[in-house]
Amino acid sequence: MFPFGKIIILILQGIPSSILNPFFWLVIYMVWNQYKKTAALEKDMFGKVKINPKDKILYAIFYGILGGIVGSLAVMLLGISITEAGLIYVWPTALILALIHPHLMCFSYAGGLVSLFSLVMGFPRIDVAGLMGLVAILHFVESLLIYFAGYINATPVFIKDDRHGIVGGFSLQEFWPVPIMLLTVIVGDFPSMDVVQMPDWWPLIRPSAHILQNSQAIFLMLPVVAALGYGDIALTRTPKKRCKSSAINLLVFSSLLLLLSVVASRYRLFAYIAAIFAPVAHEFLIITGKRTERTNKPIFIPCKDFAALVIGFFFLVLNVRPFGMS
């Protein structure tokens, strides 16, 4: 039986270490600057700030910590190790892709490319199943954050539409610093360590064979910080409905990628499938989301005839002659 109680206690003990990490506060500083820019835009457009940036930061920290706890538990349950995940190659790849387009700065694209290169060329030597499993968990956490908190700080905007002219909508820009516990593998004899015995079926996502077969290999929990973000425009649906739809699609994507990762840790063919699926399916979600907003009718559009009718009805009911006319 999986030791949920002991694992949750260890996660709660490790999360504070992530919060004390300087990178956690660097992420908060970056998020703070972004929220200040949004507040300045709201002030210029509407003369009032919808939500104070300080409150937005508190929301981001609160939901980020909750997301980190859920993500940590998922990592522990699956046994995803970052020992050979190749993150040292994924980060530079993500930064290079960001120069092409900002939305490409995502582990789905960078992780998929690095994994394919490793599978085809044999270098760098990485654990593709572990890397794809980590990508799936991060998107799983992101989907939960979008579902429950993606619409909280929605900002009203006006956008020019080719069919309807100037339409109203909402800009959805959210960022969360996520303190999360990951697993790494160390080899050695550690009799004095407090080791938690795991069930025989664990880990679900198996590490490389040479690690799994080493009797002195143990998994060590490592506190790290992830930065997750969500950017979108809600024109054809309310912010809440738009976020829930995006979150459900992302949850399906992450679940399928997670399933492929589990199978890929046992059968090499599925490592190729997972590496291709991650960037292709993620891009498909973005394209279909944009197409929905582009083809469906916006909910806030100009309606001059209706406005004239309302004004006329107003004068009729109140029996008022407008502009002093006799």
The least confident of 185-199, 211-225, 247-261 is 185-199
Asked, for residue 48, whether it belongs to a domain, the answer is yes
Q: How many domains does the chain divide into? A: 1
In sign, the C-alpha dihedral spanning 199, 11, 226, 148 is: positive
Asked, for residue 322, whether it belongs to a domain, the answer is no
Average pLDDT over residues 302-318: 49
The answer for residues whose C-beta is within 8 angstroms of residue 277's C-beta and 6 or more apart is: 112, 256, 257, 260
Listed residue (313, 324, 87) closest to 222, CA to CA: 87
Model confidence at 319: pLDDT above 70: no
Model confidence at 21: pLDDT above 90: no
pTM check: above 0.75: yes
Asked, for residue 73, whether it belongs to a domain, the answer is yes
**Which residues are registered as beta bridge partners of 233?**
171
10 Å CB burial of residue 46 (0-12, 13-18, 19+) is exposed
* Phi, psi for 228 (deg, rounded to 5): -115, 145
What was the pLDDT predicted at 276? 97
Asked, for residue 113, whether it belongs to a domain, the answer is yes
pLDDT interval class at 158 (50, 70, 90): confident
Asked if 185 contacts 218 with a C-beta cutoff of 8 angstroms, the reply is: yes
Asked, for residue 232, whether it belongs to a domain, the answer is yes
What was the pLDDT predicted at 320? 40
Asked, for residue 111, whether it belongs to a domain, the answer is yes
Asked, for residue 311, whether it belongs to a domain, the answer is no
Reported as a single tens digit per residue, the pLDDT across 47-82 is 888 888 999 999 999 999 999 999 999 999 999 988
- The listed range with the strongest mean pLDDT (128-132, 206-210, 223-227, 309-313) is 128-132
Asked, for residue 323, whether it belongs to a domain, the answer is no
Listed residue (234, 248, 94) closest to 151, CA to CA: 234
Q: Containing domain of residue 297, as a range?
A: 4-301
